[in-house]
Amino acid sequence: MTLRTLPQLTSDNAIVATPRPDKTKTAVLRWAAAHYVVSWGTQDFAGPHMHIDGQYGCALSEFFETHLPINELENTWFKATPVLAMQLTEDMNLEDLTTKDGNKESSYDTIPAGTWIIRNPSGEQYTNTPVVFAAKYTTADDSVEKTA
């Protein structure tokens, strides 16, 4: 299946997942434009953004809507907002995306079956492998899955 965007997640087709509170991130404000090559493709930021764990970026508005600081630890944050999630049942090809803040993200050729699509409260969507999803999120009933 080839799509220009990820399937739009809603409460009808996705489950609610809660971030694990012990999964902290190191995040630093970067003022300059940046290009990141990440495991899922590339990211291009035209200006200020948060650089997370020395690996990838996040738009400022998205980051501050979803994360809270750990005051005792400099540059340490945790994701505090629940997300919607759906697991793919078949491989999906995805073309370039432009985020709501105008930053560009490009995905490599195929997103494999089993990958989780995640939607932040603001509407931004991204993917996680099953292993990464399990490490970052819990669900009300981990045996209940919504799939596409």
Q: Report pLDDT for 68.
A: 94
Average pLDDT, the chain: 83
Range of the domain at 11: 2-139
Choose between 122 and 30: higher pLDDT: 30
Q: Report pLDDT for 124.
A: 81
Q: Is residue 84 part of a domain?
A: yes
The pLDDT-based confidence of 109 (bands split at 50, 70, 90) is low
What percentage of the chain exceeds 70 in pLDDT?
Answer: 80
Q: Is residue 145 part of a domain?
A: no
With beta carbons less than 8 A apart as the criterion, state whether 6 and 87 touch: no
- Compute the distance between CA of residue 100 and CA of residue 103 in angstroms, rounded to an integer: 7
Q: Is residue 146 part of a domain?
A: no
Q: Report pLDDT for 105.
A: 63
Q: Is the pTM of this model over 0.85?
A: no
Domains in the chain: how many in total?
1
- Compute the distance between CA of residue 18 and CA of residue 133 in angstroms, rounded to an integer: 11
What percentage of the chain exceeds 90 in pLDDT?
Answer: 48
With beta carbons less than 8 A apart as the criterion, state whether 14 and 86 touch: yes
Query: How many residues belong to the chain?
Result: 148
Please say if the pLDDT value at position 39 is more than 80: no
